[in-house]
Structure 1
Amino acid sequence: MMNEELNTTLNNVKEAWKYPELFENVSSSERWLSGAAGGYLLLKGITSIFSHPVIGLTSAAIGAGLLYRGITGYCPLKDLAEQRSLEDVVDEVLVTETVVVDKLG
């Protein structure tokens, strides 16, 4: 099961690398910043995994996510937020009744 998930992830990264315009939802400056921060957090998490296991694993996981975001230019959380904001937009308004007032007061 683990090999299948790893192969799927690697294939997704390869596809995103080949056709970046289909998958990118992160700007280039965000990609550079995510890549740098992700690499740093991943390295720090791996080196501190034996002295502080919970903090090390958390840091390594966050770093891996940021590194993935920086390499591919795709952020699933940003994509989910954009989809949810599109669901909130009303397509049409149906007016069923109109009231006209001649005098105010």
Structure 2
Amino acid sequence: MSNLLLFAFDKIKAKIKDDCIEENIGASERVLSVIAGGFILGLGVKKIFKSPLAGLSGLTLGGTLIYRGVTGHCDVKKLLEDKDVKKVEVIEHRYFVK
């Protein structure tokens, strides 16, 4: 039974890995995004009739986290990383010898 389960997980992992074109999220971050997204999505479904605004917010955030985890791509992270990268240009090398 466990071999069948491991085989299924390996197939799913390979399928997700093949579909991802621009992966900028690591594997552990993807797993945590899916777990947190599922939890928040569940809370949003639970609250949708008691507090529609909080429920809708939970549905949106949870769905976004699940999408982020499954695809392995986050546009927000990509934008933040692009701003941090600075082009370093060497103008002149000087060597001092005594």
TM-score, normalised relative to structure 2? 0.68
Cα deviation digits, residues 5-62 of structure 1 (max 9, x gap):
xxxxxxxxxxx76442x31111111011100110111121022111011111111111
Secondary structure of the structure 1 residue equivalent to 2:49: coil
5+ residue gaps, structure 2, are: 1-15, 93-98
Distance 1:92 1:25 in 2: 26
- Paired residue total: 77
Aligned-pair distance for 1:82?
0.9
1:53 aligns with 2:52: yes
5+ residue gaps, structure 1, are: 1-15, 96-105
Change (3 A) 1:91 1:84: same
Whichever residue aligns with residue 72 of structure 2, its letter is G
Distance 2:87 2:72 in 1: 30
| CA RMSD, Structure 1 to Structure 2 (Å) | 1.9
Provide runs of 4+ in structure 1 moved above 6 Å: none
> 1:73 aligns to what?
72
1:92 aligns with 2:89: yes
TM-score, normalised relative to structure 1? 0.64
